Structure 1
Amino acid sequence: MQLPTIQENNDLQQAVDAKELYQSLGLNTAHWAKWHARNIDENPFATRGLDYQTFTQWVRGNETRNYLLSIEFAKKLAMQVRTEMGERIRNYFLDCERKASQPVVALPDFTNPAIAARAWADEYQEKQIAQEQLAIAAPKAAALDTLSHAKGSLGVRETAKAVGIPEREFVRRCLDKSKPLSSRFLYRDDKGRLNAHAHRIKQGFMTQKVASYEGKDGYDVATIQVKFTAAGVAHIAKLMQNKPVNHLRVLEAV
């Protein structure tokens, strides 16, 4: 069973899709409506906007309600399921919280000329190594140019352009269900929206943010932004054959 994906959220900071959590816990899908009503809507210890957000989805032509849960609230719900998977998900959330609470490493004292010079030299060396790795990874100068000008990450369309593959073909290969789950990058949710696989986010190859706005019906509507980090673009570039631009293809996603 796949662990639920942790997403970045403006209000909840980090959030989990409630339906994805429910499925990861191995609970009966027929009881979803009763479960979210009892554990979320009618939970006297859960506060909307602080512990969860509500949004609507279309599933097989029917409108259904779903939620984004804070990590703390999702952990509490997982603890109520006294199964091996419930314990595993609980520990997963605890580990995420532990990493998030780790202290930030202090910056060097740049008032000391020797330390400042060493720090500058280390930074320069790291940049040189990064540039060499990108030069090896990216098959074409066009892809390198796109990547070097990217501010942090690239969207799906920009990533496809960077590696020289038409966007539709790029998405198809990232979704390819003929490959093992560990070799895929993207999947579609019930509404057909592209989502990043959790293991790719953990590898630092992708990011996923959820933004929300209030719809006409008063419910929050969520939009998903999937992006590839510079490391992710470089990793995909390594999987390409050295062919002319627009003729590159993915050899194998590993």
Structure 2
Amino acid sequence: MQELIKVTVQNDQQFVSARDLYKGLELKIRFSLWVSKNFDSFEEGQDFTSVSADTEVSNNGGVQIRKLQDYLLTIDMAKELCMMSKTEKGKEVRKYFIEVERKWNDPQEIVKRGYAILQNENTQLKLENKNLTIQLEESNKKASYLDVILGAPDALAVTQIAADYGYNAKDFNELLHKVRIQHKVNGQWILYKVYMGQGYVTTKPFTFIDHKGRTRSKPSTYWTQKGRKLIYDILKDNDVLPLIERSDIE
């Protein structure tokens, strides 16, 4: 079956993005107007849930994340909205959702989902036990890098964090690129989309003297403590530890 509209699953329930449905129905009116005209007969928290969606927009040669209002719709609500559109496209999409529901409710699919849930719970228990073991081992260390992070609330430049790992700033930025935390856009290091807008970095003005002796200022990226924790976790998964936690360094 060809995917007309993306259907996601949360807590063993299927949902559709209102914006995805709006695009799929090829509606001509504004999204916000469509919502105000059609959502009144539905109940928030039961038929739909308000969420925000991230979208990338260009900004002075860089990339900026903009928050857009969106809604997660139940399949039943999505089908009703298709009928309310009174278009051939609406009929086509509604038939698609009916087929999605039919497959979702097939007894074999229900058994598969139940088995997957049991497997996931078993895996989660194993992971929790493993994490407890690791936590007990690490709690016996004299000091940890996380202690350092928690004890220093201010945002830091990459140069300072690089020094914690025995790197210079240039090589450390390349390392963060290698482990897919950031990439370079127009000469500036930018977080990959999955990490954007989550408070990992902040921007501060950096003042300098250019080659003509003029005082200039440009935005500079600083890592928050949440961002330092992200770096720590990802680098640790790649067997890269800060100097304070390396057993080969006294």
Question: In which range does the TM-score fall when normalised by the shorter chain?
Answer: 0.3 to 0.5
The structure number with the bigger radius of gyration is 2
- TM-score normalized with structure 1 length: 0.37
- TM-score normalized with structure 2 length: 0.38
